[in-house]
Chain A
Amino acid sequence: MHEFEEFKGTFFAECAELLVDVESQLSALRDGSEDPEVLHAIFRAVHSIKAGAGALKFDLLAKFSHGFEAMLDKMRDGKIVVTLDVIDILYRASDVLSDMVDAAESKTDLAQDYGSEVIVEINDLAGVSASAITVKPSSGESSNSVDEVTPKTAIKYNISFSPKLELFLHANEPLLLVRELKSLGEVIIEADLSRLPAFMDMDAEGAYIDWKFEVVTDAGEEAVREVFEFVEDDCELSITFEAMEENSSVSEDAAQADVTEQVQQSNSGQPEKEPTKTAKISSIRVDLDRLDRLVNMVGELVITQSMLTQQTDEIPIEKMPNMARGLEELAFHTRELQESVMAIRMQPVKSVFARMPRLVRDLASKLNKNVNLVTIGENTEVDKTVVEEISDPINHMIRNSVDHGLESTEDRIAAGKPEEGTITLSAEHRAGRIIISISDDGAGINRERVHSLALKNGLISENSKLSNEEIDNLIFAPGFSTADKVTDVSGRGVGMDVVRRNIQALGGRITIQSNPGKGSRFIMTLPLTLAVMDGMIVVSGNGKYVIPIPNILESLRPEKEALKRLPNGQEMVRIRGEYIPLAFLHRAFQLTGAETDPAKALVVLAESEEHGKIGIVVDQLIGQQQVVIKSLESNYQPVTGISAATILGNGMVAPILDVEALYMLSITESHLDSLSFEQSAPDIQPQLAAAKTSTTTSPPHETSTGSSQ
């Protein structure tokens, strides 16, 4: 079976998809769906896993899926009634199946009796004995007794074969049978034409010729029978054999045994299935590497295109109008191409959402709560990389909602709420980003307790005045936990801070809205892709930088009077009555030749996710452009204040600013102290230190086009 080794990758990828599908079908089943297609779909998934496992010799997996399949088959036929208990078994069986797939993929050995509890339950339900759940090897079919007794002895078989009309309707062909017989040994053929009608009465598709074959072969009766395997229901067949030589071990009776097969049309089986009306969108599977190469190539194309545009910028349009038009079209098509390529990588968040009903169900039963999970917008699409990254945060927040968000059943009843708590998980596109929200109808955040805990942990000071929103957001502070006791569900402070940091690392943000007594809502917004972004190219001194467009609010040149310096040295700008701290790019990155007076330079007003607004002082704005994100970590090294880099039209590397980190870099420590609710304050010192070491190395300029992300 070495031939099939190379299909393992395909098989495991398929298993992953099938298991996700099983999960979502199971939750439909649990929600009371009576659509027969639900069971069919689960059956098909398990069936496919079984077939692949069998072919690839994953015996444990094949064996288990065989039993699972048998149970599902009985369910499809209505022989097993779908009850909650049965669904529970299905869930556990799907768990075991998933574990077995994982084990097969990671080449780890599971105990031979792994999942035996579920197997016993399945066997009971499916009415199969434990020993019956084995997969017979396809080749080792039971051999005939004659073969066992007399191997390699030439035997003469007398075969009488009278085909019926059905034989032709099934596209079988007597000529091929004769050929196959001849491959076994010498054949004497006799055609009996006695049933042949007069030409005028003849039906062109009728079967009128009967045949008699005498075959001498040492291949055994099994092989002879196999020739007629597909036609035995469509003919009168008799096979008798006699030994060619005296052979004492074959009794007279056996030698003369007449094994006439009677035609039996089986009418059993299931009623014909109606084909489902909805057609699937046709799709092909493409290796991710190839797709990444394509995305990279398009990225390079974008760079080349912007290079061309830049090169011709100095030439007056009148001089070469056609060239200008051509370049404009090129820019348009490049953008279209890039969007199309990015669209290929888009995947529905369904694969993540589908795992959540299960999680909620398990948690609810562990915590003895009654929870209903509603999912909305599971077909919302985001880039594959984002899909992969959002799984953990969602998982974490769902755990948090079930564990901390929803009250105990008793408390709910006492509060006059329905016994069953509801958690809503939804996804939608808004303004080029994906918004995922997780809301519960629990007790909301206990602000008093959060406040006192934050005080106790030194996250805030006595005299700090916080708005409700600010208090709610304290739960994202490092090491913060409101759980009175450690539970094995969410643990204690397995921090929302970690969740927030991970989401920010993806260029996203997370906030919480809470309504005491009514519930809480986590809102997570993320970019749709991690491969390209819209950026504003800015110049400061001798460097070009990219500010992500989603961060930018506006840009302006402030009046001299609007600039203020706080006693602690922090420079501020007043915009429409609001004081906003300034960040100087040339200071943060030690650039030379930059304009140092904000009143002569430009201020780009940007919003950091965590800390509010900041005015970034730059020399000039070059323009907005879609940039290809290249990872600094993989191509160079992490630099504080910079999230990634891109390659500009002239081949130069331009760092993409991390507004969040830039804020931390630029705001003086004493100013941070005055922002009393600042959660990350303790982190500032190491960050500044890191910035100092990293800025002594100038940003990478040696990277050229052709580097990968």
Chain B
Amino acid sequence: MTLNVLAVDDSKTMRDMVSFTLKGAGYSVVEAEDGQHALSSLDGKTIDLVITDINMPNLDGIGLIKALREKPEFRSTPILILTTESNDEKKAEGRQAGATGWIVKPFEPEKLLKVVQKVCG
């Protein structure tokens, strides 16, 4: 079964990279440019994994994670945050909001896939 991934980042380059890597590995990807768009793009879709940036306009990654965790269907959906190594406190903040794990930017494609497999099986 194809897993659906929601990729959220305000940088088109990053979204493209995440999307390209995941699609190449057989995942299906829904893209959104910020938290607000992510929430409005759900539209009853089954999402098996969320990958989100932290720094975004309108609704940032932390806000998105909190909003998702409040939805019953997202209680046990893995959520990965995209973070840079300088952002340890963001990592902690993300975890507190309910993130499952993180991917350090810049990432190698293999590393991204490895982390995705780690939380999705």
Contacts and interface: CB of A to CB of B under 8 A. Distances in A.
B57 A44 contact: yes
B119 A172 contact: yes
B36 interface: yes
Contacts of B82: 51
A14 B11 CA distance: 7
B36 A275 contact: yes
Contact of B36 (A48, A66, A279): A279
A195 interface: no
B92 A179 contact: no
Contacts of A10: 12-13, 16
Interface centre among A10, A11, A230, A265 (most CB of B within 10 A): A230
A69 interface: yes
Contact of B63 (A52, A135, A273, A282): A273
B55 A170 contact: no
Interface string A39-75: 0110110011011101110000010001001100100
A269 B92 contact: yes
Contact of B86 (A40, A70, A267): A70
Given A7-B13, A14-B12, A170-B95, A55 B106 contact: yes
A265 B33 CA distance: 30
A138 B104 contact: yes
Nearest to A69: B86
A51 B79 CA distance: 20
Contact of B93 (A47, A56, A270): A270
A4 interface: yes
Contacts of A43: 55
Q: In which size bucket is the chain A interface?
A: 35 or more
Contacts of A279: 36, 58
Contacts of B12: 10, 13-14, 285
A683 interface: no
Interface in B57-93: 57-60, 62-63, 69, 75-79, 82, 84-86, 89-90, 92-93
Q: Which secondary structure dominates chain B's binding surface? A: mixed
A364 B12 CA distance: 36
A69 B90 CA distance: 14
A520 B16 CA distance: 49
B118 interface: yes
Contacts of A278: 58
A50 B108 contact: no
Given A7-B20, A233-B95, A54 B57 contact: no
Contacts of B60: 273, 275
Contacts of B14: 48, 51-52, 55
Contact of A276 (B58, B75, B85, B89): B58
Contacts of A73: 86
A179 B12 CA distance: 34
A566 interface: no
Contacts of A7: 13, 16-17, 20
Nearest to B31: A284
A51 B84 contact: yes
A176 B118 contact: yes
Nearest to A46: B55
Contacts, number: 152
A276 B57 contact: yes
Given A14-B13, A51-B84, A268 B89 contact: yes
A171 to B, nearest CB: 5
A138 B111 contact: yes
Contacts of A266: 89, 92-93, 95-96
- Residue among B33, B105, B120 with most chain A CB within 10 A: B105
Contacts of A268: 89, 92
A579 interface: no
Of A171, A172, A180, A265, chain B has the most CB atoms within 10 Å of the CB of: A171
A211 interface: no
A321 B119 CA distance: 67
Contacts of A139: 108, 111
Contact of B62 (A1, A272, A280): A272
B50 to A, nearest CB: 9
A558 to B, nearest CB: 61
Contact of B13 (A40, A48, A175, A276): A48
B17 A54 contact: no
Nearest to B92: A266
Interface string A211-236: 00000000000000001011001000
Interface string A345-383: 000000000000000000000000000000000000000
A624 to B, nearest CB: 42
Contacts of A176: 118-121
Nearest to A278: B58
Contact of B90 (A62, A169, A229, A269): A269
Nearest to A179: B121
A1 B108 CA distance: 7
Given A138-B111, A171-B119, A230-B118, A52 B13 contact: yes
Interface in B17-37: 17, 20-21, 24, 33-37
A313 interface: no
A208 interface: no
Contacts of A175: 121
Question: What 4 pairs between A and B have smallest CB-CB spacing?
Answer: A54-B106, A230-B101, A266-B92, A48-B11
22 contacts: A4-B17, A14-B11, A43-B55, A44-B56, A50-B84, A52-B14, A55-B106, A135-B85, A138-B85, A138-B104, A169-B69, A171-B75, A176-B118, A267-B96, A268-B89, A268-B92, A270-B89, A273-B63, A275-B59, A275-B60, A276-B58, A285-B12
Given A170-B98, A172-B78, A269-B96, 5 more contacts: A14-B11, A14-B12, A54-B105, A171-B79, A230-B100
Interface of A: 1, 3-4, 7, 10-11, 13-14, 37, 40-41, 43-44, 47-48, 50-52, 54-56, 62, 66, 69-70, 73, 135-136, 138-139, 168-173, 175-176, 179-180, 227, 229-230, 233, 265-270, 272-273, 275-276, 278-280, 282, 285
